[in-house]
Amino acid sequence: MDFRVINLYIMTVVYVVLWLLVYFKGEDKALSKVFSIFIINMAIWSFGLAMFYKSLEPKEQLFWTDIVYVAGSLIPSAFLLFSFVFPDGRFKISRIQQFFIFMPNVILAVLFFFTPIIVKGVESVNGVKGFIYGQGHLIWDLHFIAIFGWAFWRFIRMYREQAGIIKLRLKYILLGTSTGVILAGATNVVMPWFNRFEFLWLGPPLTLTWLICVSYAIFRYRLIDINLVLTRTGLFVLVYSIVLGIPFGVGYATKSWFVSTGIAALLASAGPFVYQYLKRRSDELLLKDQRRYQNILRQLSATMILIKDMDRLLKLIVYRVAKAIKVEFACIYIADMNQNKLLLKFPYTTKGFFPDFPKEMDITCSCELCAYIKKKRKPVFSEELSDEMKKKFSFRSGIIIPSFVRERLLGFLILGPKVSSGVYTPDDAIAFEVLANQAAMAIENTEFIQESQKTQAQLFAAERMSSMGAMAGGMSHQINNRFHAILMATSDTLDSLQFLNIDSCSQEIKDYLKEARYALERIAENAKHGGKIVNDFLNFSQPDRLQKQAKEFKLTETLERAIEMTRIKTSFPQDTIEKVIADDLPLFHGDFVLIQDVFFNLIDNAIDAIKRREQAIQEKHVAFEGAEGAYKGRIKVTMRQDNGTIIIQIADNGIGMNDEAKKKMFVPFFTTKATAAKGTGLGLFVIEKIITAHKGKIKIDSEYGQGTSFIITLPITQKKEEA
């Protein structure tokens, strides 16, 4: 049998097997189906050529010629349709537009099978079979060039717009297409123009390169670098050209095939070793940068377990990894199990701007990205994410590296594309997995250390509170006696004033007596409040004695009382405090005096912070952009209702605090005030206890030199009905 027919049969089988694999095994059904159209036409083209060479009858030869050309015209059309589906597997054109892509093929099929316009017949010259073209034979050529050129232009445009893995996949498509079409186009399109048909049978084998590159680009996410592929291919061709070429040349020159066979055996034995050596040396040069940063990652994995501070650890991971790999941006999300959220930490960028990532994400499966990361438990390439996820999280290109401890997701590192436009390889993924495992151990270690420190602080605080509780128990009676004496004196005075006849007094005396009555009422109220504070202090130092007097009241009333108490304690301008209160604020069920004390302490602290910033500005310790003397303290109190809770925010533009102070704000006996006379360090500790006792939460947001904001969340609870 003709060796060309055997070759073409083999190529047909190869194409059919590949078609079956793509059609039935491809994960992306739309992409697989469109690509299978491309492959099956390759198979028909190859089979048609085999039958053309095998046939002896002119009519039969002409029939298979028409099959070859019709299948050949369908190849660029299928490739064009494929360009409208790649890479996401979604059709970007309507069914009508798809129909118009293949409409010319129907017309060409009619012209081939029913008219002699394109091909009139076949002929054999010196044993070489060829075609006899009609007057319209350029119709097929123009269609092939136009449709294929359109598809190729679309892939070039996609290549310019994409980045990362998708860009590399497009490189493979463009490389394979250029190679396959140039070679096959020369043998099956250009040479027949000059009546040279002896190499028609090489078309299918030459286009196999095209098909392999496109298939590889579709079904592989983690591709090796295209430069590495070209270098290895070039070395292979070079080495085995020498291995095969030298024996062939010796045999041809000496006419002694015995000598050439011996040389061939010797070179064939040495060839693999030479190729492996050259491959290893070329890999060392091409992968030098990759191996450099992978070595840095291994060193980082070994040392970060020694770090005990969480923020320092996370900052080290982000900055060391980002600078070693040279990425456009990087950040880390760390789990906050108290809030059941992932919080964004330490954004890094080399481009001057950072992607619009969410500041926090729900750690539960309601977050699509978190659910996918939990399911995979390995580094996630951006190309694996759906378009919806990419759009939602503004993550176009890069890799996500998660860290797990058993089933718990501790967080994940996000790395953007490399500055060099290189890709993340399988070797990178392995190195990242090692880093993620070590990071998980380091994070768990720092969490344990922080919990231990917190427990020690609580034990220390409990011991001091116990001591103070014992002291408070002994002193409370004496202090309450003093408050009782003040209360009795003011009550008696108020009673006396009530029965005093002041009708004959002047207006000045009446105003004076009115102010005196108001002052005495405030003294009496604060004497009651003072006694309540003593009891509350005793309750908090001995939690088993905590007994709240709960009732329904307006939070605005407690706020006004607290502001009034602050004015009595210290003077400040009338417009210092701005109140933004929602109209639909419901009644709150809790302890009136305790909530009033929360507001009083927070506003009092804000006033103190404003004074301290004013002093710091005067002493040039804190920068201020405005004119000298233009700084004006502001306190903004907002209250609103949100999803069954009341949100209260008390924000000031005072001195603020640094990160270290923020961590200790709710630790008992810690104070940022200058002297113990100004602060004991119990105020915020007691405030947190009060809010917690009301089943609420309190958060702090502060920046030194800018101000502080306390956000209190209280549940809306109804007063319990008596049985």
176 and 270 fall within a common domain: no
Burial 238-272 (b: 16+ CB within 10 A, else e): ebbeebeeebeebbeeeeeeeebeebbeebeeebe
Q: What distance in Å separates the CA atoms of residue 651 and residue 646, rounded to the nearest whole number?
A: 16
Confirm whether 284 is domain-assigned. no
Q: What distance in Å separates the CA atoms of residue 609 and residue 572, rounded to the nearest whole number?
A: 13
Confirm whether 377 is domain-assigned. yes
Q: Tell how far CA 255 is from the center of its chain.
A: 68
Closest CA to 400 of 342, 445, 313, 336: 342
Lowest model confidence (mean pLDDT) among 418-422, 472-476, 707-711: 472-476
Residue 637 DSSP SS3: strand
229 and 201 fall within a common domain: no
Q: Are 486 and 527 in contact (CB under 8 A)?
A: yes
Give me the half-sphere count of Cα atoms (radius 13 Å) on the Cβ side of residue 279: 14
Tell me the mean pLDDT in the region 43-59: 90
- The last residue of one of the domains, among 393, 415, 450, is 450
Is 473 a residue whose pLDDT tops 70? no
Q: Are 531 and 477 in contact (CB under 8 A)?
A: no
Query: Using 50, 70 and 90 to split pLDDT, how confident is the model at 25?
Result: low
Is 648 a residue whose pLDDT tops 90? yes
- Percent over 70 (pLDDT), the chain: 82
Confirm whether 530 is domain-assigned. no
650-653 long-range CB contacts below 8 Å, 24 or more apart? Answer: 650/599, 650/602, 650/603, 650/606, 650/709, 650/710, 650/712, 651/707, 651/708, 651/709, 651/710, 652/606, 652/609, 652/610, 652/707, 652/708, 652/709, 653/610, 653/613, 653/706, 653/707
pLDDT at position 47 is 93
**CA distance from start to end of the chain:** 102
Largest CA distance in the chain: 147
Query: Using 50, 70 and 90 to split pLDDT, how confident is the model at 276?
Result: confident
208 and 230 fall within a common domain: no
Tell me the mean pLDDT in the region 689-697: 85
Is 255 a residue whose pLDDT tops 80? no
Q: What distance in Å separates the CA atoms of residue 147 and residue 153, rounded to the nearest whole number?
A: 10
CATH number, residue 364:
3.30.450.40
Output 569 or 632, whichever has higher pLDDT. Answer: 632
Q: Is 119 left (phi over 0), alpha (psi -120 to 50) or beta?
A: beta
pLDDT at position 667 is 62
Tell me the mean pLDDT in the region 449-461: 70
- The number of folded domains in the chain is 4
Confirm whether 487 is domain-assigned. no
Confirm whether 466 is domain-assigned. no
Lowest model confidence (mean pLDDT) among 204-208, 240-244, 687-691: 240-244
Output 197 or 661, whichever has higher pLDDT. Answer: 197
Tokens 């008992």 correspond to what residue? 668
Q: What is the pLDDT of residues 176-201, one digit of tens each?
A: 888 888 888 888 888 888 888 888 88
Output 589 or 659, whichever has higher pLDDT. Answer: 589
Give me the half-sphere count of Cα atoms (radius 13 Å) on the Cβ side of residue 206: 16
Pairing of strands 408-415, 329-336: antiparallel
Is 431 a residue whose pLDDT tops 50? yes
Confirm whether 504 is domain-assigned. no
At residue 291, what is the residue type?
R
Tell me the mean pLDDT in the region 445-461: 71
621 and 692 fall within a common domain: yes
- The last residue of one of the domains, among 195, 220, 245, is 220
pLDDT at position 708 is 92
234 and 310 fall within a common domain: no
Query: Using 50, 70 and 90 to split pLDDT, how confident is the model at 464?
Result: low
Boundaries of domain holding 184: 3-220
120 and 155 fall within a common domain: yes
- The last residue of one of the domains, among 426, 450, 474, is 450
pLDDT at position 674 is 46
Q: Which residues contact 270 (CB under 8 A, 6 or more apart)?
A: 243
Q: Are 439 and 447 in contact (CB under 8 A)?
A: no
pLDDT at position 465 is 59
Pairing of strands 635-642, 577-581: parallel
pLDDT at position 220 is 57
Q: Which residues contact 389 (CB under 8 A, 6 or more apart)?
A: 368, 369, 372, 395
Is 459 a residue whose pLDDT tops 60? yes
pLDDT at position 518 is 84
pLDDT at position 363 is 64
Between vectors from CA 689 to CA 685 and to CA 691, what angle results, nearest 5°?
115
Q: Which residues contact 479 (CB under 8 A, 6 or more apart)?
A: 530, 531, 534
Lowest model confidence (mean pLDDT) among 63-67, 120-124, 352-356, 561-565: 352-356
Query: What is the average pLDDT value for the chain, to the nearest integer?
Result: 79
Q: What distance in Å separates the CA atoms of residue 139 and residue 130, rounded to the nearest whole number?
A: 18
Distances from the Cα of 518 to the Cα of 15, 501, 523, 544, angstroms: 99, 17, 9, 38
Tokens, residue 365: 């499966």
Q: Where are the alpha helices (DSSP H) in 542-628?
A: 555-569, 592-618
317 and 265 fall within a common domain: no
Query: Using 50, 70 and 90 to split pLDDT, how confident is the model at 149?
Result: very high
Confirm whether 517 is domain-assigned. no
Tokens 């028609």 correspond to what residue? 200
597 and 621 fall within a common domain: yes
Q: Where are the alpha helices (DSSP H) in 338-425?
A: 368-376, 387-392
Output 163 or 10, whichever has higher pLDDT. Answer: 10
pTM: 0.46
Confirm whether 412 is domain-assigned. yes
Q: What distance in Å separates the CA atoms of residue 714 and residue 696, rounded to the nearest whole number?
A: 4
Output 592 or 80, whichever has higher pLDDT. Answer: 80
Query: Using 50, 70 and 90 to split pLDDT, how confident is the model at 462?
Result: low
Tokens 């947001």 correspond to what residue? 701
pLDDT at position 67 is 93
Distances from the Cα of 17 to the Cα of 20, 21, 86, angstroms: 5, 6, 22
Residue 117 DSSP SS3: coil
pLDDT at position 358 is 79
Tell me the mean pLDDT in the region 435-463: 74
Q: What is the pLDDT of residues 82-114, one digit of tens each?
A: 889 887 777 888 889 989 999 999 999 999 999
263 and 367 fall within a common domain: no
Is 159 a residue whose pLDDT tops 80? yes
CATH number, residue 561:
3.30.565.10
Query: Using 50, 70 and 90 to split pLDDT, how confident is the model at 407?
Result: confident
Closest CA to 374 of 326, 408, 349, 350: 408
126 and 81 fall within a common domain: yes
Q: What distance in Å separates the CA atoms of residue 495 and residue 341, rounded to the nearest whole number?
A: 58
pLDDT at position 150 is 94
pLDDT at position 311 is 83
pLDDT at position 109 is 92
Q: Tell how far CA 66 is from the center of its chain.
A: 54
pLDDT at position 163 is 66
29 and 133 fall within a common domain: yes
At residue 261, what is the residue type?
T
Tell me the mean pLDDT in the region 134-161: 90
Closest CA to 74 of 116, 49, 104: 104
Tokens, residue 549: 């007097």
206 and 249 fall within a common domain: no
pLDDT at position 695 is 86
Q: What is the pLDDT of residues 350-360, one digit of tens each?
A: 877 788 787 87
Helix 58-83 × helix 95-114 angle, to 10°: 170
Distances from the Cα of 360 to the Cα of 332, 335, 341, 345, 611, angstroms: 11, 10, 6, 10, 34
Tell me the mean pLDDT in the region 601-620: 87
Q: Tell how far CA 635 is from the center of its chain.
A: 36
Distances from the Cα of 265 to the Cα of 244, 249, 270, angstroms: 10, 15, 9
Tokens, residue 210: 């095209």
Distances from the Cα of 139 to the Cα of 66, 73, 134, 376, angstroms: 14, 11, 10, 52
pLDDT at position 222 is 47
Q: Show the beta-strand stretches assigned E in 79-235.
A: 119-125, 128-133
